[in-house]
Structures are given as structure tokens and as C-alpha cells.
């Protein structure tokens, strides 16, 4: 693996059960210090890919390599050590609703370090300031908006200064202003900290504006295209054009594969 590569997905296959494959022989590399967007429709395996990198699940076949070390989902000691080096922004924030904004951001520091409370206080306020919410430190989660909650979750994700930050649908459910703020934060934090960022999303404009590299996935993790945002936006491949332009008609069909209507409603005799 090249020294410029932080994460390598090496011929990985995975399914939650034997009857349905989510990822089938997927190979990818994620470069250090870059923002990589992983785009694709719902159910194509984007979030599953993040779970495999974080060791939530183990690959059925193939390897997930983090900085030269093969991730073993069954090795608890290794997972604790590797997860100390990554931050995760969950799709809906996953904040602790019975804690204040301050205590949500302080949580990983208190769990993973032996830092004195005075130093934790300073770090938490700095992280909240980085996302524009230092003044909201004393509020409870029920008192903040959806956009603010997403920024609080981001402050928590970067509390331990991770080398890798993974974002699962960071723009979902946000208004246009909050979406723009979130996108700018992802790019700025990546550049200031030197971290590597993986952004899973289906929001094309935001990802194209902040990413160094873009990967477009289809069903079972099939890689449709990858390259710079400019290359994908100018692509003449029908499947790429349909996705980046949001066209309703094209290679990607609206209906999930199913039997014919007549068969499902008992209008024809089954063999």
C-alpha cells in the first residue's frame, strides 16, 4: 500500500445474510489529507463501507486496511486502538439527549483520555468555537435546531483530533443555509487539521463543491466512476450523467426488482 494511502478496500465482499450481497468484490483507495465523497443511491452500500472501515462488521471476503494494518472486527483491543484515530459523524447526529451540548462534546475526551477537567473544558470550548457554537455550550439538545445538532455532532467527532473523519449523510434534512455551513466546515476542518475525510452522501452539489475526489457507487458497491468533481460533472457516461444531473430517466430504474404485477396480485397462475 502506498504511503499516500490511508485506507485500502481490497476486493471486499459483504452481506448481512447469505441471501443478499451488499458489497461484491469492491476495491478502493482513500488518500491521506483529502476529502473523498462517496456518492450513490440509497442501498448501494455507502454506509456499509464506513461500518467496515470502523470495524463494526467484518468483511465476508477481502481486506480493509487502515494505515497498513488489516482491520479485524473480532479483535477488540485493535478496534479500540484504531477507533481512537477516527471520528464519526452519524447520519442523525446520535447525540445524547440527556446531556448538555458541552457534555456531549466532552464525552469522548472523558472516556478515552485521563485529561484533567480544566483542560477538557478548554478543548470542548475550542471545538465548539470551531463549529460556531461556543455560546450554546450550556444548552440541552432539545433546545437546539437540527442544523445546530449536526454541528455539535461534528464538534464531538473531532474532539480527539482524529486522523480520519467519516461523515454519513452530513447534509440530510438540513435547510440550504445549514447545508452550506456544514459543507464549509467539512472542507475547512480537513484543511486546518490535515485529516482525511470520507463523505457518504447523495447530495451532488455540496459534495462536488468540497471534494478532492469523488466515487460514484451503484448496487452491490459497483464503482460506476471516480475522479475529480470536474471529471464526473463533465462525464458523458449515461449512468454518471443521470446521477449527477438528477435525471429521472436513465440506466438507474425507479423500481426495485420484483415479480410482475399480475403475478403478485394473483392474476396469473404460478407454476
Look up the pTM and report it: 0.81
255 lies in some domain: yes
Residue 147 lies in a domain: yes
What gap in Å lies between CA 261 and CA 264, rounded to an integer?
5
- Are 160 and 141 in contact by the 8 Å Cβ rule? The answer is no
- Count of other CB atoms within 10 angstroms of residue 67: 16
- Residue 37 falls inside a structural domain: yes
User: Among all chains, which residue has been given the C-alpha cell 438507474?
Assistant: 252
- Tens-binned pLDDT, residue by residue, of the chain (271 aa): 567 889 999 999 988 876 778 888 899 999 999 999 998 877 778 888 889 998 888 888 999 999 888 998 888 898 888 888 888 888 766 888 888 999 999 998 998 889 999 999 999 999 999 888 889 899 998 888 888 888 898 889 888 888 999 998 888 777 788 788 888 888 988 888 888 999 998 888 888 889 999 999 887 778 888 899 998 888 888 877 877 776 665 556 545 667 776 776 666 555 5
Facing residues of 87 across strands? Answer: 165
Residue 149 has which C-alpha cell? 445538532
Pairing of strands 196-201, 164-168: parallel
Residue 62's SS3 state is strand
Sorted by sequence, the CB contacts under 8 Å of residue 78 that are 6+ apart come out as: 55, 69, 71, 72
Task: Tell the burial category of 194 from Cβ atoms under 10 Å away from its Cβ (0-12, 13-18, 19+).
Answer: exposed
User: Do the Cβ atoms of 15 and 21 come closer than 8 Å?
Assistant: yes
Q: What is the DSSP letter of 213?
A: E
In a domain, 14, yes or no: no
Collapsing DSSP states into helix, strand and coil, what is residue 246?
Answer: coil
Give the CATH number, domain containing residue 97: 3.40.50.300
The set of long-range contacts for 80-85, using a CB threshold of 8 Å and a minimum separation of 24, is: 82/55, 83/54, 83/55, 84/112, 84/160, 85/162, 85/163, 85/164
Asked whether residue 8 is assigned to any structural domain, the reply reads: no
For CA atoms 241, 246, 247, 252, the dihedral sign is positive
Total domains, the chain: 1
Segments forming the whole domain that contains residue 170: 33-54+83-264
Q: Is residue 17 part of a domain?
A: no
Residue with cell 464503482: 223
Classify residue 133: in a domain, yes or no.
yes
User: 245 lies in a domain?
Assistant: yes
Helix intervals (H) in the chain: 46-53, 76-83, 101-112, 117-130, 146-157, 176-193, 204-210, 229-233, 238-245, 261-264
The pLDDT score that the predictor gives to residue 52 is 92
**pLDDT value of position 179:** 83
Specify the length of the chain in residues.
271
Amino acid at each position: 500500500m502506498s504511503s499516500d494511502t490511508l485506507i485500502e478496500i481490497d476486493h471486499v465482499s459483504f452481506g448481512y445474510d447469505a441471501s443478499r450481497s451488499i458489497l461484491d468484490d469492491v476495491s478502493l483507495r482513500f488518500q491521506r489529507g483529502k476529502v473523498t465523497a462517496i456518492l450513490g443511491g440509497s442501498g448501494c452500500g455507502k454506509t456499509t463501507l464506513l461500518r467496515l472501515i470502523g470495524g463494526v462488521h467484518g468483511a465476508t471476503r477481502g481486506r480493509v486496511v487502515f494505515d497498513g494494518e488489516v482491520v479485524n472486527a473480532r479483535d477488540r483491543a485493535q478496534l479500540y486502538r484504531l477507533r481512537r484515530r477516527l471520528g464519526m459523524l452519524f447520519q442523525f447526529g446520535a447525540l445524547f439527549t440527556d446531556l448538555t451540548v458541552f457534555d456531549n462534546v466532552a464525552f469522548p475526551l472523558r472516556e478515552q483520555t485521563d485529561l484533567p477537567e480544566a483542560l477538557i473544558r478548554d478543548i470542548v470550548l475550542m471545538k465548539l468555537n470551531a463549529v460556531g457554537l461556543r455560546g450554546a455550550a450550556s444548552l440541552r439538545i432539545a433546545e437546539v435546531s437540527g442544523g445546530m445538532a449536526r454541528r455539535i455532532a461534528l464538534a464531538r467527532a473531532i474532539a480527539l483530533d482524529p486522523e480520519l473523519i467519516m461523515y454519513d449523510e452530513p447534509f440530510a434534512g438540513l435547510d440550504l443555509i445549514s447545508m452550506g455551513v456544514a459543507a464549509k466546515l467539512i472542507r475547512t476542518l480537513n484543511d486546518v487539521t490535515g485529516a482525511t475525510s470520507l463523505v457518504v452522501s447523495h447530495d451532488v452539489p455540496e459534495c462536488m463543491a468540497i471534494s478532492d475526489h469523488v466515487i460514484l457507487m451503484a448496487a452491490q458497491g459497483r464503482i460506476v466512476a471516480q475522479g475529480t468533481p470536474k471529471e464526473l460533472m463533465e462525464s458523458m457516461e449515461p449512468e454518471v450523467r443521470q446521477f449527477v444531473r438528477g435525471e429521472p430517466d436513465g440506466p438507474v430504474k425507479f423500481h426495485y426488482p420484483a415479480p410482475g404485477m399480475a403475478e403478485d396480485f394473483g392474476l396469473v397462475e404460478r407454476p
